[in-house]
Amino acid sequence: MNMFSSADKESEMRAFVLLALLLGGYSLANVLVGPFWPAFFGLVVPAAVLAFLYPRAGLFVSVAMTVFFERFYTLSPLVIGEAQYKVYALDAVLAASFVSALLLWMREGKRFSRFRSSDWLLLSFFGIVTAIFLFELLVPSETNVATAFSTWKNYVFYGALFFLVSYGLRTRDDIFFFARLFLWSIAAAGIFLLIGIARGGGLWTEYTPLSTAGTRFLAFPHAFYFSLGFLSIFFSSPFWLVDPRRSRLLFWLSAVLIAGILGSLMRHLWLGIGGAMVFGFLFFPSEYRRAFIRTALPFLAVAASSLLIFWSALALFPQSDIRGDTRYVADILSERIFSIGNRYDESLAWREGVWTSAMAEFRRSPIFGIGFGAQVPVELGDYRSYVEVRNMHNSWLAMLIQTGLVGAAVFLGFLVSLCLTLFRAHSGDRFFGAMKYGLMGLIVFQCLVFFSQPYLETNLLGIFFWITLGVARAVTDMPKSKPAQRIGN
Amino acid identity, residue 277? M
Whether 179 and 186 have beta carbons less than 8 Å apart is answered as no
Whether 219 and 70 have beta carbons less than 8 Å apart is answered as yes
Residues 98, 172 share a domain: no
Residues 270, 402 share a domain: yes
In this predicted structure, what is the pLDDT of residue 489?
31
Long-range contacts of 315-318 (CB under 8 A, 24+ apart): none
| Residue among 74, 60, 72, 273 nearest 182 (CA) | 60
Residues 168, 90 share a domain: no
> Among 110, 139, 156, which residue terminates a domain?
110
As a whole number of angstroms, the distance between CA 408 and CA 414 comes to: 10
Whether 96 and 58 have beta carbons less than 8 Å apart is answered as yes
In this predicted structure, what is the pLDDT of residue 136?
87
In this predicted structure, what is the pLDDT of residue 334?
58
As a whole number of angstroms, the distance between CA 295 and CA 376 comes to: 46
Residues 227, 340 share a domain: yes
| Residue among 428, 430, 420 nearest 476 (CA) | 420
CA of residue 92 relative to chain centroid, distance: 19
Which H, E and C letters describe the chain, residue by residue? CCCCCHHHHHHHHHHHHHHHHHHHHHHHHHHHHCCCHHHHHHHHHHHHHHHHHCHHHHHHHHHHHHHHHCHHHHCCCEEECCEEECCCHHHHHHHHHHHHHHHHHHHCCCCHHHCCHHHHHHHHHHHHHHHHHHHHHHCCCCCCHHHHHHHHHHHHHHHHHHHHHHHHCCCHHHHHHHHHHHHHHHHHHHHHHHHHHHHCCCCCHHHCCCCCCCCCCCCHHHHHHHHHHHHHHHHCHHHHCCCHHHHHHHHHHHHHHHHHHHHCCCHHHHHHHHHHHHHHHHHCCHHHHHHHHHHHHHHHHHHHHHHHHHHHHHHHCCCCHHHHHHHHHHHHHHHHHHHHHCCCCHHHHHHHHHHHHHHHHHCCCCCCCCCCCCEEEEEECCEEEEEEHHHCCCHHHHHHHHHHHHHHHHHHHHHHHHHHHHHHCCCCCHHHHHHHHHHHHHHHHHHHHCCCCCCCCCHHHHHHHHHHHHHHHHHHHCCCCCCCCCCCC
Long-range contacts of 331-335 (CB under 8 A, 24+ apart): 331/213, 332/212, 332/213, 332/214, 332/265, 333/262, 333/265, 335/212, 335/213, 335/214
Residues 394, 461 share a domain: yes
Residues 128, 61 share a domain: no
Residues 82, 183 share a domain: no
As a whole number of angstroms, the distance between CA 189 and CA 183 comes to: 10
Which residues on neighbouring strands pair with residue 375, listed in sequence order? 388
Residues 80, 40 share a domain: yes
Q: How many domains does the chain have?
A: 2
Which H, E and C letters describe 418-430, residue by residue? HHHHHHHCCCCCH
Whether 151 and 402 have beta carbons less than 8 Å apart is answered as yes
As a whole number of angstroms, the distance between CA 460 and CA 189 comes to: 14
- Encode the chain (489 residues) as per-residue pLDDT tens digits: 344 454 478 899 999 999 999 999 999 999 999 888 899 999 999 999 999 999 999 999 999 999 999 999 999 999 888 888 889 999 999 999 999 999 988 888 766 667 889 999 999 999 999 999 999 888 877 778 888 999 999 999 999 999 999 999 988 889 999 999 999 999 999 999 999 989 888 888 877 776 555 678 899 999 999 999 999 999 988 888 778 888 888 888 998 999 999 888 888 999 999 999 999 999 888 888 888 888 888 777 766 765 666 556 556 655 555 555 555 555 555 555 555 555 556 677 778 888 888 899 899 989 999 989 888 888 777 777 888 888 889 999 999 999 999 999 999 999 999 999 998 887 667 888 888 999 999 999 999 999 999 999 999 999 999 999 999 999 988 765 444 443 333
Q: Which domain holds residue 8?
A: 1-110
Residues 435, 408 share a domain: yes
Q: Is 381 left (phi over 0), alpha (psi -120 to 50) or beta?
A: left
As a whole number of angstroms, the distance between CA 316 and CA 314 comes to: 5
Long-range contacts of 280-284 (CB under 8 A, 24+ apart): 280/235, 280/437, 280/441, 284/437, 284/440
As a whole number of angstroms, the distance between CA 8 and CA 14 comes to: 10
Residues 140, 37 share a domain: no
> Among 110, 139, 160, which residue terminates a domain?
110
> Among 93, 110, 127, which residue terminates a domain?
110
Q: Give the CA count within 13 Å in the CB-facing half-sphere of 120.
A: 7
Residues 186, 91 share a domain: no
Residues 123, 40 share a domain: no
Long-range contacts of 386-391 (CB under 8 A, 24+ apart): 387/354, 387/357, 388/144, 388/147, 389/358, 389/361, 390/147, 390/150, 390/151, 390/154, 390/454, 390/457, 391/454, 391/457
